Amino acid sequence: MANRGYVVDFSIVALCILVMVVSRAEPDPTKMTTALLIRVDQSGKGDYPTIQEAIDAVPSNNSELVYIWVNAGIYTEKVVVPADKPFITLSGTNANETIIAWKESGEIYVSPVFTVLASDFVGRYLTIQNTYGSGAKAVALRVSGDRAAFYGCRILSHQDTLLDDIGRHYYRSCYIEGDTDFIFGNAASLFEKCHLHSLSDGAGAITAQGRVSPVDTGGFIFLDCKITGVKTAILGRPWGAYSRVVFAFTYMSGVVVPQGWDDWGDSSKQSTSYFGQYECYGAGAITSKRVGWSHDLTFQEAAPFLTKDFIGGMTWIRPSPRSFKKFSNTTN
């Protein structure tokens, strides 16, 4: 009888532990189909008049999809999505009409118009613009959360437009504009069907990737993209010693200079950086005059960079919600 008592007690303890583990497991974003809806409208017809107020209303440690729909307008505000507020989607209906704008220069972690610190964030059909102009660091968008995706967005500035900082990120059908190092950081990111436009009137740099070691998973992959510009630009230069950037199936206009890449005045980075292209086309895609330390990739070499597997996207890139329910802010 005593032995049976111990068995029963152990089973109960094990069951309690299992329940606790399951209850604390993170939700699977690919299977989340219903979202809480918050409306932002400057005219007062929505739930909140500013984007930041809508984000602030989301509970800390949120575990539900929250869909913040932003009506057309120019929202002159700095926006931060805190680290404790995952699973937010922020969406306009047309990027040309839903604009988040701010004018500020300074350090790269201070000047951003829009900062994402949370995981599982989605941005859709928005213009995010730092209106400071040229001549100083003026970040439009900083993405420092894991598993973030942007669709149909316009990201605009001059120097340091997009701080693609850390985490795994996916950009699709976005327009990104700047002049100097305007896509930079050390995230592991896939840019698919994006348009990169250089405003530089000299040899500006499109990318400055910051990978710092050979085991670092960071890198920028551009798949089926388009490059245009005002004058000339290089594809990238190594912000980190092990900088990694690959362009595949990308149209490169004559704005891309024949050398393609630059070592940023440090020849030691030529042997550690990984800069390559695969099956690109256009006047700027000719590889015969590329720097000798860049890579004209074979299919086998390019294959690891040609799918969402590079960012583990199949496990976290989520579909749009299929249904919505009313958001209720219980803190008010």
Q: Which residues are catalytic?
A: 181
Region label for 185, one of left (φ > 0), alpha (ψ between -120 and 50) or beta (otherwise): left
Whole-angstrom CA distances from 12 to 6, 9, 19, 230, 312 are 10, 5, 11, 70, 37
- Residue 130 phi/psi, 5-degree rounding, is -100, 115
Give the span between the Cα atoms of 197 and 132, in whole angstroms: 18
Does residue 137 contact residue 162 with C-beta atoms inside 8 Å? no
Kindly give the pairing relationship between strand 195-198 and strand 175-178.
parallel
In sequence order, what DSSP letters do the residues of 41-78 get, joined into one string? -TTTTSSBSSHHHHHHHSPTT--SEEEEEE-SEEEES-
Region label for 135, one of left (φ > 0), alpha (ψ between -120 and 50) or beta (otherwise): left
Residue 10 makes CB contacts below 8 A (sequence gap 6+) with: none
Residue 145, token pair as written in the block = 């959360």
Q: In the β-sheet with 98-102, what is the strand arrangement from edge to edge?
A: 73-76, 98-102, 127-130, 154-156, 175-178, 195-198, 226-229, 251-252
